[in-house]
């Protein structure tokens, strides 16, 4: 690969790193071509971009973004598949789901919502992170809950009051 080709790859990675707020690094070495293609298809369906890159090129691209990737640089050893995602927990769910069939891919590290996660033992924590839409749904549900309670209380009280008035009017007549 010539220097010009490397620069093109680095610039492409810089664009992807800046565009995707969530980045996962996984080790998929030893996985069959058929399995890795199946994983790529699942990534595509979940709007997760996957790319296998050289560690040195990825490191240079990460440095050019100006973001603080912390200890992620220490995980850039051996084969690395980079997963770019808009949704914080989508790649973690994909990895966990795919590993029901085998022990790969292994999570090396992740940069999710400005936080760094190192090691495969962090996978369960990453799966449980809620996406922006899930959090918005939770907040809306919490806001609607008191209003629903008041409305149902008023409806049931109104029914009781109407029943009492009807009974009283029947007795009076």
**Residue 161 pLDDT more than 80?**
no
Let me know whether 96 and 18 are in one domain. yes
CB 106 within 8 A of CB 120: yes
Do 101 and 17 have their domain in common?
yes
Q: In terms of residue numbers, what domain contains 109?
A: 3-129
Pairwise pLDDT comparison (28 vs 96), residue with the higher score: 96
- Report, as an integer, the average pLDDT of 54-66: 88
Residues 111, 148 within the same domain: no
Percent of the chain with pLDDT over 70: 88
Quick one: 94 and 164 in the same domain? no
pLDDT of residue 135: 77
Q: With 80 as the cut, is the pLDDT of residue 5 above it?
A: yes
Lowest mean pLDDT among 1-10, 48-57, 60-69, 162-171: 162-171
Whether residue 86 is found in the same domain as residue 165: no
Average pLDDT over residues 27-39: 83
Residue 84 and residue 96 in one domain: yes
Q: Give the model's confidence band at 105: pLDDT under 50 very low, under 70 low, under 90 confident, else very high.
A: confident
Q: Give the total number of structural domains in the chain.
A: 2
- Chain position carrying tokens 């709007």: 47
Same domain, 73 and 118: yes
Task: Let me know whether 60 and 74 are in one domain.
Answer: yes
Output the pTM of the full model: 0.72
Query: Per DSSP, which regions of 1-105 are E strands?
Result: 22-27, 48-53, 80-85
Asked if residues 20 and 85 have their Cβ atoms less than 8 Å apart, the reply is yes
The CATH number linked to 52 is 3.30.70.1730
Two tokens, residue 101: 């069939």
Flag whether pLDDT at 74 surpasses 80: yes
Residue 166 CA, distance from chain mean position: 57
């Amino acid at each position: 690969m010539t220097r010009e080709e490397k620069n093109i790859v680095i610039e492409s990675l810089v664009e992807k790193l800046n565009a995707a707020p969530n980045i996962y690094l996984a080790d998929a070495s030893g996985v069959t071509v058929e399995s890795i293609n199946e994983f790529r298809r699942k990534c595509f369906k979940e709007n997760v971009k996957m790319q296998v890159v050289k560690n040195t090129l990825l490191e240079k691209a990460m440095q050019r973004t100006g973001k603080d990737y912390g200890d992620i640089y220490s995980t850039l050893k051996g084969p690395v598949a980079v997963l770019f995602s808009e949704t914080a927990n989508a790649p973690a769910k994909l990895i966990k789901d795919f590993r029901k069939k085998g022990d790969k891919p292994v999570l090396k590290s992740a940069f999710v919502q400005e936080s760094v996660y190192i090691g495969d033992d962090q996978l369960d924590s990453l799966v449980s992170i809620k996406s922006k839409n899930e959090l918005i749904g939770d907040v809306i549900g919490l806001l609607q809950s008191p209003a629903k309670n008041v409305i149902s209380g008023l409806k049931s009280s109104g029914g009781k009051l109407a029943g009492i008035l009807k009974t009283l009017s029947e007795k009076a007549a």
